[in-house]
Amino acid sequence: MSNKEVVVSDVSREHENPIAELVQVACQFDSNIVLENDNRKINAKSIMGIMAFNPTRGMTVNIVADGSDEQEALVAMEKFLVCS
């Protein structure tokens, strides 16, 4: 299991449909990917979960990935959330 804490940038300016696109990024990987903030934990592959989580600019999010491609998943999720 690997994790990385990131601060979300303005994803709504960088992406047309950030919620759906974030789920698409997560679904590219076999690893389980969870986003955490405060006491909330959601499955990054769940569009309803991401909608409820609502990652917004300035929010600190801990990305947790567990599986065969967890490092690649962390990098891809971080790139999306910080718009790099």
Q: Which residues are catalytic?
A: 15
Q: Give CA separation, 23 vs 13, 16, 55, in Å.
A: 17, 13, 12
- Report d(CA 6, CA 37) in Å as an integer: 10
Q: Residue 7: enclosing H or E segment and its boundaries?
A: strand 2-7
